[in-house]
Structure 1
């Protein structure tokens, strides 16, 4: 049904717009169906004078359907409202209120409000007043513009009344359901936006405080080292100070990169494309090779060369790089054979990535908090506490989840689960 009504139109970003497009198309199809049903009834009764009117109704409804399918929504809406008013007036003004045609005036007004609504406020009010006026005139001043049926039996009369009543009730109820559902979705959207803004405001407060603290420490250290360098005359001491300055700058650079990753994840939309997982792992390891080779950490990969998924490559790389670099950073210096095992597979239409190490491990009381912003489970290293928070936020943005299993002094396994498509 959706393909029939929308045609090649892309679905609108706002769900209500798509629903209104569907409603216009459905009403046009209902009007065509009603025209065919009534044309059949009057032909069976031998009332051929009605046929041109029903053909006009079918043709006008088909034109409205075509305009709606072509994206000309206002023209389609106006044609629907004008056709509805015209035909309901014509067929209700033949001094036969027992046919139940007056039910359709209510349906016409409801459609006018739904299809035009707040976007065309004054036009909507005008058309509502026109419909009310037509209903009054049709009842008080029958015009007999349309042919008056002559050979309608009481049984057919009751059938026509019942058809009009059922169509009005069903379609009127459907229109109201559309309105209620649209309101519900709008409320849900506003609630989610409010929750997101509340979360962002809280994180921003913490971010400003912690970021200023984390930036101040290396800057103060740099200022101290510069002061020492200015006063000393020892070449060896100058070299040592420069080396320490480079390390401080490296810490600041890493922190700024994490801020950039966080900002990019929050502000940019997910852009999923085909990704070779093995190639992504190899690229990540290549960029970190000097770290794990320096510490003599054995790295093994357990995946296939042709494993493909649909995901956002920059975000996937952020997750991968953070998990691998953490495994390197917190390896256990007391163990003779430190290792990192990276596994990737697809199971039940779900992509599973795990990074396992035999490093320091994480105490149980820290495991529930390591994905919080600026939380650090150890004083070892000079991390900002943003890495795993960024990983969790990025994984959730990709529609997945992450969990950790860890035992102190034994090792940790981080597992990421993402949709394949």
Structure 2
């Protein structure tokens, strides 16, 4: 079966369409152009067959105009392409209909043009739509009341006239059916978009519920522990310093949770802002900021990327990704291994930025690997963390239209591979 995507590839080439509704309009415009080019050539061949070679100078300019409208669509100039198409279509129908006897149902052609104009322009271009509708109505009046034609006036006998009426009717029905099909596509696309919106709202509500439950749970635990410890400091003064250290650790955990939630909210809300930067220097700065943490002691960084690796993408999100992935590797390192390392690799290939963060840590058990990007998921409560780090990484990758893949072997280590499209 011939699909719309295949038609778009053949007729429109690499023209980029940003929504399904706009895609339907553009494909309908392109289809209309193709149909009228074929009709023009058919009418031209018929006139030459009847002995009217002068029709070549009438039909050929319209073939060129329709071709120019298609060329504009291929360039992505959709408004201009539609305007050229509809103006040319109006004059094409007028010139052809003005050469046919009045009682040949020419009005139905103008009616079909009005329907096409209304669908292709829509409510968002009211002035242009009104101008086109006025042009169609003016040409219809001119055709009906002024005896003028660029083409030779046809003289039909009664039987030919009846056949011509049937042909006119069939052509108009095909045009109206094409337009109705477009309207149905519109409705389907609108329903699909609203369905996606409803699904997104459901997902956001579920995430909000999980936010509320998890944050409440994670806040209650440390606060409850500190309240008990405060009571113990007044009872057991010998171990007061130990209790204070424990309370300090609890406060530190709370602070980490607040920071992770704040970072996730910022990452989700700010728009993509692309800029040029050196990603190798960026990775070194991130490591320098976190390598002095107690849990990072004894871990070596291996930087496997060109020193002059310049990229154009969202620097803030790349920093957040690398920071979260490196921090995650530190958190789940294997203390039993003598040589512990984190390897950050990077390269650019065919317009894609390839990044990977590899470690020889504890790895992730196979049954948990499909959950690591879920909100608030923690592979181990012993290791701490809010469970938002990898979720934030996945959101950032999706925001940049990229891909992320996990490759982990339990007991040996983990590799996170990221692909991000770059500016051409």
TM-score w.r.t. the length of structure 2 is 0.69
Determine the structure 2 residue equivalent to 1:115.
Answer: 120
Identify the range of structure 1 (178-187 vs 380-389) with the bigger mean alpha-carbon deviation.
Answer: 178-187
Cα deviation per residue 1:342-383 (whole Å; 9 max; x = unaligned)? 222345654432222222232333323333222222232322
Distance in 1 (CA, whole Å) between partners of 2:205 and 2:92 is: 51
Q: 1:329 to 1:164 in 2, by over 3 A?
A: same
- Secondary structure of the corresponding residue to residue 260 of structure 1: helix
Distance in 1 (CA, whole Å) between partners of 2:369 and 2:247 is: 33
Distance in 1 (CA, whole Å) between partners of 2:221 and 2:276 is: 42
Determine the structure 1 residue equivalent to 2:381.
Answer: 379
TM-superposed CA distance for 1:401, in Å, is 2.3
- Secondary structure of the corresponding residue to residue 204 of structure 1: helix
Determine the structure 1 residue equivalent to 2:408.
Answer: 405
1:200 corresponds, among 195, 204, 217, to: 204
**Contact 1:401/1:417 (<8 A) preserved:** yes
Q: Where does structure 1 lack aligned partners over 5 or more consecutive residues?
A: none
**Contact 1:363/1:406 (<8 A) preserved:** yes
Q: How many residues align?
A: 398
Determine the structure 2 residue equivalent to 1:258.
Answer: 260
Determine the structure 1 residue equivalent to 2:280.
Answer: 278
- Secondary structure of the corresponding residue to residue 368 of structure 1: helix
TM-superposed CA distance for 1:111, in Å, is 1.1
- 1:213 paired with 2:217, answer yes
Correspondences of 1:292-303 after superposition (within 5 Å): 295-303=297-305
Cα deviation per residue 1:140-191 (whole Å; 9 max; x = unaligned)? xx7563359457699x999999997897677656545544444443333233
Identify the range of structure 1 (111-120 vs 379-388) with the bigger mean alpha-carbon deviation.
Answer: 111-120
Distance in 1 (CA, whole Å) between partners of 2:26 and 2:344 is: 49
- 1:16 paired with 2:21, answer yes
**Contact 2:407/2:416 (<8 A) preserved:** yes
Distance in 2 (CA, whole Å) between partners of 1:275 and 1:340 is: 22
Q: 1:178 to 1:74 in 2, by over 3 A?
A: closer
TM-superposed CA distance for 1:209, in Å, is 0.8
Determine the structure 2 residue equivalent to 1:146.
Answer: 148
- 1:105 paired with 2:110, answer yes
Q: Where does structure 2 lack aligned partners over 5 or more consecutive residues?
A: 1-7
Q: 1:306 to 1:159 in 2, by over 3 A?
A: farther
1:388 corresponds, among 387, 390, 398, to: 390
Cα deviation per residue 1:18-76 (whole Å; 9 max; x = unaligned)? 7657867997999899899989998996799x999999999x999x99xx979699998
Distance in 1 (CA, whole Å) between partners of 2:298 and 2:394 is: 29
Once superposed, what is the RMSD of the aligned Cα atoms? 5.4
**Contact 1:91/1:101 (<8 A) preserved:** no
- Secondary structure of the corresponding residue to residue 263 of structure 2: helix
Q: 1:11 to 1:395 in 2, by over 3 A?
A: closer
Q: 1:198 to 1:294 in 2, by over 3 A?
A: closer
- Secondary structure of the corresponding residue to residue 327 of structure 1: helix
Cα deviation per residue 1:323-356 (whole Å; 9 max; x = unaligned)? 1112112222223322222222345654432222
TM-score w.r.t. the length of structure 1 is 0.69
Correspondences of 1:9-408 after superposition (within 5 Å): 16-17=21-22, 20=25, 90=98, 94-95=102-103, 97=104, 101=106, 104-115=109-120, 117=122, 143=145, 145-147=147-149, 149=152, 175-176=179-180, 178-228=182-232, 231=234, 240-291=242-293, 295-346=297-348, 350-398=352-400, 399-407=402-410
Distance in 2 (CA, whole Å) between partners of 1:47 and 1:341 is: 76
- Secondary structure of the corresponding residue to residue 371 of structure 2: coil
Distance in 2 (CA, whole Å) between partners of 1:163 and 1:83 is: 20
Identify the range of structure 1 (394-403 vs 203-212) with the bigger mean alpha-carbon deviation.
Answer: 394-403
**Contact 2:363/2:414 (<8 A) preserved:** no
- Secondary structure of the corresponding residue to residue 414 of structure 2: strand
